[in-house]
Amino acid sequence: MKKRVFSLLLAILLVILPCMGLTSCDKEGGRTVTLYVYNWGEYISDGSEGTLDVNRMFEEWYYETYGVKVQVNYSTYSSNESMYAKLSSGSVNYDVIVPSDYMIERMIAEDMLAELNFDNIPHIGNIHSDFFGEGAQYDYYDPDNKYAVPYMYGMIGIIYNTTMVDEADIGSWDLMWNEKYKGNILQFNNSRDAFGTAQYFKGLDVNSNNKAEWREALALLKDQKPILQGYVMDEIFNKMENGSAAIAAYYAGDFLTMYENNEELEFFYPAEGTNLYVDAMCIPKSSQNKEIAERYIDFMLTEVPAVANAEYTYYASPNTVVRDNEEYKEYMDSIKEGGYDLMYATDTVETSSYKNLGGDQLIMLNELWEELKSDIEVGLPIYVLCGVILIILIGGGVFLGVRKKIRDKY
């Protein structure tokens, strides 16, 4: 993957300036504090393929600034639901997590998140007023701005292979249900996004309290199931990049990553509307290193790591020092013509956002998801196989019976 390290000189200066008299480089050694960060896969600039390793950069900056050795233990998850299940089990502790909007709302309601001390996050002013502060349009999940700092945002659309999909078929969610492409369609392997594709397709409320509407979406997903190649999350990258699938609903930022490896891919936002989501940095109440975690969040809001992360992920950034950076804009357009506008097209696309579902709604959604995933179509091949097995069992029984009679006779 071709990546450009933004302002490498600035990054180097940030590390070495403390050694030029601003603070001592001969800090006393001591215990190393481990900061546990839990994030989505492929969602931070990690030093691979010439990119900036922002976690290592944070470790160096923190030691030079505060004289404390910090080691970032970084791990990833593939869905909000898997992240939530792990944290709610109580078997692990993390210091920084990056859930999506509706999951943040749920975790606030369940008292799982710590209130942030913004004295330790002075760069919060870099976040665009649409995403943080009084009257912000996209802070619906944390309206009091107490628990979350926006990290990235984006919209869901449909990725398709131009050599396998007719141009006349694109533009609508209907493409995900088009039998012409049976066996070449990929669906989300998480309940909220999968149901969202069906709900947007038929104009249903993605936050509905009406069980009948959810069952209507389930019926659509069951109709879709026979033509799917499978339910995927991170597996989508290989499948779309190598052409083993033709169509997939997924996140716009990840489309650019796939496009970079396969220029036969294209993307559109469905005309019926789609989901706009915000992923934000939060601190679980169980964190053992809250102050360091807050400083970690603040560090990620500063220009060098913020631009590096935006360039690595290709997701839209709510950070003004990223959005206003001309080199960043040029870089996004160098990946794909119009790449910057594709990521920041919120004014031209019909969108809505997932809200936290109530307890009964969540139970219902989980039950519907299980019903969908366990609803195996039984066709003629299964009946034939069962018949063959039954014949073998009967034949075996007859053989054993005859053999026993022969033994008894002799």
Same domain? For 207 and 271 the reply is yes
Same domain? For 21 and 54 the reply is yes
Same domain? For 297 and 311 the reply is yes
Query: CATH no. for residue 28?
Result: 3.40.190.10
Residue at 398 is within a domain? no
Same domain? For 170 and 223 the reply is yes
Same domain? For 264 and 212 the reply is yes
Residue at 397 is within a domain? no
Average pLDDT over the chain reads 89
Look at the alpha carbons of 304, 305, 310, 313 in this order and tell me if their dihedral is positive or negative: positive
Tell whether the model's pLDDT for residue 28 goes beyond 50. Answer: no
Tell whether the model's pLDDT for residue 10 goes beyond 70. Answer: no
Q: Which two tokens stand for residue 103?
A: 């999951």
Tell whether the model's pLDDT for residue 266 goes beyond 60. Answer: yes
Same domain? For 128 and 47 the reply is yes
Share of the chain above pLDDT 70, in %: 84
Number of domains in the chain: 2
Residue at 391 is within a domain? no
Q: Per residue in 199-212, pLDDT tens?
A: 999 999 999 999 99
Residue at 345 is within a domain? no
Going by the DSSP 8-state scheme, the letter that residue 183 receives in this structure is: T
The pLDDT score that the predictor gives to residue 369 is 97
Name which of 16-30, 60-74, 167-181, 227-241 the model is least confident about.
16-30
Same domain? For 46 and 67 the reply is yes
The pLDDT score that the predictor gives to residue 397 is 53
Tell whether the model's pLDDT for residue 358 goes beyond 90. Answer: no
Q: Which two tokens stand for residue 311?
A: 């360039």
| Alpha-carbon span 404 to 370, nearest angstrom | 47
Same domain? For 139 and 68 the reply is yes
Q: Calculate mean pLDDT across residues 135-157.
A: 96
Q: Per residue in 88-115, pLDDT tens?
A: 999 899 999 999 999 999 999 999 999 9
CB-neighbour burial class of residue 22 (10 A; exposed 0-12, middle 13-18, buried 19+): exposed
Same domain? For 194 and 60 the reply is no
Q: Calculate mean pLDDT across residues 122-131.
A: 98
Residue at 269 is within a domain? yes
Residue at 390 is within a domain? no
Same domain? For 229 and 315 the reply is no
Residue at 404 is within a domain? no
CB-neighbour burial class of residue 66 (10 A; exposed 0-12, middle 13-18, buried 19+): middle
Question: Which pTM value belongs to this model?
Answer: 0.81
Q: Which two tokens stand for residue 113?
A: 């998140």
Tell whether the model's pLDDT for residue 303 goes beyond 70. Answer: yes
Residue at 263 is within a domain? yes
Name which of 23-27, 93-97, 133-137, 288-292 the model is least confident about.
23-27
Tell whether the model's pLDDT for residue 380 goes beyond 60. Answer: no
Question: For the packed helices 211-224 and 359-374, what is the interaxial angle rounded to 10 degrees?
Answer: 20
Same domain? For 367 and 268 the reply is yes
- pLDDT grade, residue 376 (50/70/90)? low
Q: Per residue in 69-78, pLDDT tens?
A: 999 999 999 8
Which structural domain, as residue segments, surrounds residue 246? 154-275+362-374
Distances (CA, A) of 277 to 15, 43, 114, 185, 352: 34, 15, 22, 23, 8
Same domain? For 128 and 229 the reply is no
pLDDT: is 26 or 277 the higher one? 277
C-beta atoms surrounding 113 within 10 Å: 24
